[in-house]
Amino acid sequence: MSSVARPSYRVVVVGAGIVGLYTSLHLARAGAGPILVIDRGFLSSGASGRNGGGIRQQWETPATVRLARESVAAYRRFGREFGYNPWFRQGGYLFLAENEAELAHLRRVHALVTSEGLPSQVLSPEEVARHIPGLAPGAVVGGTYLGSDGTLYPFPAVWGVYEAVRSLGVEVAFGVEAQGVEAREGRVRAILTSAGRLETSAIVNAAGGWSAEFSRRAGLSVPNTPTRHEILATEPMKPFLDPMVARVSDGLYFSQTMRGELVGGLTLRDGAGVAQGMPSSARFLTEMSRALVRLVPRLGSLGVLRAWSGFYDDTPDGFPLIGEDPRQRGFYHANGFGGHGFMLAPATTLRVARAVLGEPTDLDPNLFAPARFLDPRRPAPVERLQLG
């Protein structure tokens, strides 16, 4: 049923989530030639339509902090640039520590973030309580806070970039699955899709939770693992919570949206992969509710409105895969965002596009290059602030 317009493209992007769409935007703006974006589902069916909308700049490595800061700037001007209002509200991001070890960890993050020129703060339990009305006494030993972090509505951001790329002539085809890659002499020649074989010299794998599967179909082993994460929303209330709150110990996070709903999740490790689909679970509903009620007891009578789930595309070191795969020229990775694709998309996709266009990028290959996992002797920094 689904088909595409041409037999060949300059670039085929796999995945019409925020990462794939933004990548095609940068490419189209650079005049890269005929560009096709394919997606196995519908617009916003993957993680770009399922995330909690958190946008933060507090990270453990300077490179990520800088990318995040660039993304924050992009989302601040998003409404004026794209005609859609993502309601990016800079209500801050508040990390919670439950013990001294966690607080020490947050202090190190704070030191780095401030050294990058962002005014993050270390908060006492009393100061934390001022941000979270009704916080249970003794629930935290402290936290860190950065006021320019915030939350947005993912959907308008997706519509905005989608309509922008379409107006630039990018073709976006839904219900089309990437099935494999035809390569000769280590170079991409064509992509095999459910809509047929399409000649191209550049493929961008921006398939999120499905990226590892597609890389493998292309004959490339990657360390990415899709992990299912669940999320819930409560009945809408009048505003009472400004920041996004994230707890170090168990990845509990929640914020209050513009509509007044409390939206949040919790890290449960159940090993479910993409094959299991995206169901909600009784375990999540009950564990998440308990975690929230323990932290903020007054919320107990608030109704849970709905729950859903989506996939993180995790990597062993917590950094995404950005750039060309040295094993197959013309195959570019824009994946492994570990649940942070939305917050890093505007900045990272600019680098992806540059790589596709053969331009140099400023990314540290030790952190972002897909080849890093091929070298067992490389220095191995790890980004552990994977929550929220």
Partner 1 sequence: MADAPERRFLFDGAARSARSGETLLAALTRGDLPRLQRSIRYHRPRAPVCAEGYCTGCLVRVNGRPNVRACRYVPSDSDVVTTENSWPSPRFDMYGAFDYLFPRGLDTLHGFRRPAWATRAYHRVIRRLAGFGRPPDATAPIAAKLPAVRTSVDVAIVGAGRSGRAAAARLVEAGVRPLVVDRDLDPAPVPGADLLGRTTATFLPPPGPDGFTLLGFQEPDRGVEVLARRVVLATGAYDASLLFGGNDHPGVLTADGALGMRDASGRPPFRRAVLVGGDARADAVLGDLAEWVEAVVAPGPIQPGLVRRASDEEIPLYPRTLLLRAHGRSRVRSVDLRARGGGTKFSLDCDAVVLAHRRLPTPQLFFQVGARMQWHGGTGAYYPVLTDSLATTVAGVFAVGSAAGFLGPASVESGARAADAVTDRPASDGGALARVPAEGPSELEGYYRELWREPRSGKWVACPCEDVLLTEIEEASARGYRGMEVIKRYSGVGTGLCQGRYCLPDALLVLSMLEERPPSDVGYITQRPPVVPTPLAAFAALASTDRPPEAR
255: Cβ contacts below 8 Å, ≥ 6 apart? 52, 53, 54, 91, 151, 241, 243, 244, 245, 262, 263, 264
Cβ–Cβ under 8 Å, residues 14 and 148: no
Does 266 bind partner 1 (CB under 8 A)? Our answer is yes
Q: Cα dist. 382→22, 269, 320, 336 in Å?
A: 26, 20, 11, 14
Encoding tokens for residue 36?
Answer: 């096709």
Cβ–Cβ under 8 Å, residues 334 and 204: yes
d(C-alpha 388, C-alpha 246), whole Å: 6
What is the smallest separation between the CB atom of 320 and partner 1, expressed in angstroms?
Answer: 18
Length, in residues, of the chain: 388
Does 89 bind partner 1 (CB under 8 A)? Our answer is yes
Interface with partner 1 (CB under 8 A), residue from 116, 127, 171, 287: 287
Interface with partner 1 (CB under 8 A), residue from 9, 22, 59, 84: 84
| DSSP, res 236 | -
Does 271 bind partner 1 (CB under 8 A)? Our answer is no
Does 323 bind partner 1 (CB under 8 A)? Our answer is no
Applying CB under 8 A, which part among 2-10, 196-204, 251-259, 336-344 lies near partner 1?
A: 251-259
Q: State which residue, 274 or 302, has the beta carbon closest to partner 1.
A: 302
What is the smallest separation between the CB atom of 284 and partner 1, expressed in angstroms?
Answer: 10
Radius of gyration of the chain (CA): 21
Q: State which residue, 49 or 180, has the beta carbon closest to partner 1.
A: 49
Interface with partner 1 (CB under 8 A), residue from 5, 269, 271, 360: 269
Does 297 bind partner 1 (CB under 8 A)? Our answer is yes
CA-angle at 260, arms to 256 and 266, nearest 5°: 35
Interface with partner 1 (CB under 8 A), residue from 168, 192, 258, 371: 258
Does 307 bind partner 1 (CB under 8 A)? Our answer is yes
For partner 1, the binding residues (CB under 8 A) are: 42-45, 49, 76-77, 79-80, 83-85, 87, 89, 133-134, 155-156, 159, 163, 234-240, 248-252, 258-260, 266-269, 279-283, 285-294, 297-308, 384, 386-387
